Amino acid sequence: MLKNLNQLIEYIEDRLTEEFSVSAAAKAIGISEYHLKRTFSFIAGMTLFEYIKNRKLALANRDLIFGEKVTEVAFKYGYQTVEGFSRAFREWSGYSPSEVSKNNIQKSFPKLSFFIDVKGGSSMKFKIEEKAAFRLIGVSQRVPYQFEGENQAIRQLTESLTPQQKANMHKLGDLYPHQVLNASYNFDQERSREVGELTYMIGCATTKENPFEDLEEILIPSHTWAIFPIEGIFPNTLQETWKKIYMEWLPSSDYELVEAPEISFIRFGDDSKMAYSEIWLAVKQK
């Protein structure tokens, strides 16, 4: 997988003055579009289009210093108007294009290179399990991508749950783990939203129909799931495992992601700092 991502970086570098197509890039390097976008975002800490935007603006900065005109640079890197380019450039660099040209101000954004940094040789527990189709019933909201720290939008969604909604979800939850699950899906990484959004659902897994008007449902088809059991200090161990899955397990495994909700749950014991968790990722063999 790391070889694929490094191939992607070179593919992007060769086309920074062209319209970028995720589907064409995925086909060229031999992996699925969904797997490409999800693994890139998690490993790089930014969406694919945010990376491309930053690389284009860095090269635009260089071209302005070398004396190219603002209009030429704007159209060269795919902006429809000089105003749109100038606004994006100022947001990125803190300066207008004309200030950069006049004062030789330079901000860099080097191209990425991916590699595995193996530390300690620790192993990961996981199992591969086939699950029949099931429903997730709960409440959901579009939230922004956030790669570090607490996502305030998710916190607000959690705090908005009413006692009745919680009780109704638990009534319906007749499938393992018989408790609230967290699901992320509909990842938006289109060019118009470089930062990106996703839908986040808090709900229960069930075979039952949803009779409650204040609860939503999504149907999850039958999939093969890679399931990672986690025990340790919360949230540190859970967050570290997410990183290891994307940065170590996926690149070295025989599996790639398929488009489906990414699911997790947390179960606290007597010690409020310790928790048992699981992460479920839908996968297929390469």
pTM: 0.76
Work out the pLDDT band at 193, boundaries 50, 70, 90.
Answer: very low
pLDDT-derived band of residue 190, with 50, 70 and 90 as boundaries? low
Asked whether residue 183 carries a pLDDT value surpassing 80, the answer given is yes
Task: Please write the tens of the pLDDT for every residue from 214-238.
Answer: 999 999 999 999 999 999 988 888 8
Tell me the mean pLDDT in the region 186-195.
61
Candidate CATH numbers 3.40.50.300, 3.20.80.10, 3.20.20.140, 3.30.1490.20; the one for domain 127-285: 3.20.80.10
Express as a percent the part of the chain with pLDDT over 90. 65
Task: Specify the pLDDT at position 182.
Answer: 96
Instruction: Tell me: pLDDT of 53 over 80.
Output: yes
Domain map (residue ranges) of the chain: 2-103, 127-285
pLDDT (mean) for 144-165? 88
Average pLDDT value over all residues in the chain: 89
Cβ atoms of 137 and 204 closer than 8 Å: yes
Q: What confidence score (pLDDT) does residue 169 get? A: 96
2-103 maps to CATH 1.10.10.60: yes
Least confident piece of the model among 18-27, 189-198, 245-254: 189-198
The residue-averaged pLDDT of 258-278 equals: 90
What was the pLDDT predicted at 279?
96
Per-residue pLDDT, 244:
87
pLDDT given for residue 192 in this prediction:
44
Q: What is the mean pLDDT of residues 163-173?
A: 96
